[in-house]
Amino acid sequence: MATVAFNHVTKKFGETSVLNGLDLEVTDGEFLVLLGPSGCGKTTALRMVAGLESPTSGTVTIGGSVVNDVAPQHRDVAMVFQNYALYPHLSVAKNIEFPLRQRDVSADVRAKKVSEVADMLGLTELLDRKPRQLSGGQRQRVALARAIVREPVCFLMDEPLSNLDATLRARTRSEIVRLQHELGTTTIFVTHDQVEAMTMGDRIAVLNAGDLQQVGTPTELFANPANVFVAGFIGNPGMSLLASEVVNGQLSIGGTPTTFSGLGVSGAVTVGVRIDGVQLGSSGIAAICDGVEVLGAEVHVLGHLGDDQIIVRQAASAPRPKIGEQIFVELTAQPLCFDAVTGLRVGT
Ligand SMILES: Nc1ncnc2c1ncn2[C@@H]1O[C@H](COP(=O)(O)OP(=O)(O)O)[C@@H](O)[C@H]1O
Ligand SMILES: [Mg+2]
């Protein structure tokens, strides 16, 4: 096991900068989720730990040693890819033992380890099958088994659940977390799915366009987003972000004064509200209804005021506004404030 660190790592492909001075330390035994939208540099960051890309500047360390010039096979890390990357012509057992063969591990030790890890992942009955005879979830477990059998100092997982259907994805989430706790192996898990990040990570590092936005526990990111990007990205749904103004200490949204004051800011701000901090009312902030999403016991009313989107929760039994109709939104909880220009968290 080991700590893994990015020390001011920049990666450019030609003129294009994909990671901008990334500083991030993953502690020994930690499950760290690297979260961000498609194209933000997650895979590139992971490939630099694996040794499949090298930083343009800065260093990557594993267990305190700089590995920039260490070949992938000497890094003692195991990567699990989105597409599993199994050998189609090899049986499950042969796929799992492949990394051990490469290291000239003796046949008895190989057999013992394959049997142990197959047992751990419920693959014992499937050892003689070929990958094409397995379901997506089973292939995924074989790919995990192949990573685990190596006993690496670090697991690198690149969106390993994205090819599974929703039910299996939810089940496999907890299975991976359980295994990681059992093994205690430092893990970097890449995903674009904030639900996956929130449910799996000890900590989450949020990345956007090559820039690290915030690192923290799921609870910290949810309750105290550092900027509008994290506020809008974390949570299901993310915070509604509304152009607002604080005049004489009192908050106005869309020109409508609210009862909130004492926010510790003045002038133009962006206000962030969670879905449980707003409700529909007969007066309040005016918005236009854009649609209603029926989720079962509750519905989400989607609306906009100016260029800003807002989401309000309603009981399924309540009368639903129609698209294009005016709605009124009331704040029921103290909102968070962000700088209108930089997007950084400000105020109390
Ligand atoms: N080998 C490469 N050459 C040029 N551009 C690349 C290469 N690999 C990735 N990129 C670009 O770098 C950006 C980040 O890619 P990637 O790390 O794969 O993002 P993510 O995994 O977050 O979706 C993308 O714009 C991608 O097109
Ligand atoms: Mg990727």
Q: Which atom of ligand 1 is nearest to the CA of 42?
A: 22
Ligand nearest to the CA of residue 82, numbered in listed order: 2
Domain around 136: 4-232
Report the residue among 33, 44, 47 best suited for mutation to probe ligand 1: largest number of ligand atoms under 8 A from its CB: 44
Q: Quick one: CA dihedral 53, 58, 59, 60, positive or negative?
A: negative
Highest mean pLDDT of the ranges 164-173, 253-262, 332-341: 332-341
What local confidence, expressed as pLDDT, does residue 84 receive? 77
Distance between CA atoms of 194 and 229, rounded to whole angstroms? 13
pTM (two decimals): 0.94
Of 205, 232, 259, which closes a domain? 232
Please indicate, yes or no, whether residues 221 and 242 belong to a single structural domain of this protein: no
Of 209, 232, 255, which closes a domain? 232
Query: What is the rounded average pLDDT of the residues 2-6?
Result: 97
Q: Which CATH number belongs to the domain containing residue 140 in this structure?
A: 3.40.50.300
Q: Which atom of ligand 1 is nearest to the CA of 46?
A: 17
12-56 confidence digits (pLDDT tens): 999 999 999 999 999 999 999 999 999 999 999 999 999 999 999
SS3 221: helix
Please indicate, yes or no, whether residues 19 and 151 belong to a single structural domain of this protein: yes
Query: What is the rounded average pLDDT of the residues 101-110?
Result: 92
Please indicate, yes or no, whether residues 201 and 112 belong to a single structural domain of this protein: yes
Q: Which CATH number belongs to the domain containing residue 337 in this structure?
A: 2.40.50.100
Please indicate, yes or no, whether residues 195 and 250 belong to a single structural domain of this protein: no
Report the residue among 10, 12, 13, 157 best suited for mutation to probe ligand 1: largest number of ligand atoms under 8 A from its CB: 13
Of 203, 232, 261, which closes a domain? 232
Please indicate, yes or no, whether residues 198 and 124 belong to a single structural domain of this protein: yes
Cα separation values, 219 from 63, 176, 216, 224, 240, Å: 28, 20, 8, 8, 18
Please indicate, yes or no, whether residues 218 and 275 belong to a single structural domain of this protein: no
Q: Output the DSSP codes for 255-324.
A: TEEEEEE--S--EEEEEEE-GGGEEEESSSEEEEEEEEEE-SSEEEEEEEETTEEEEEEEETTSPPPPTT
Please indicate, yes or no, whether residues 23 and 42 belong to a single structural domain of this protein: yes
Please indicate, yes or no, whether residues 95 and 225 belong to a single structural domain of this protein: yes
Count of structural domains within the chain: 2
Lining residues, ligand 1, CB within 6 Å: 13, 18, 36, 38-44
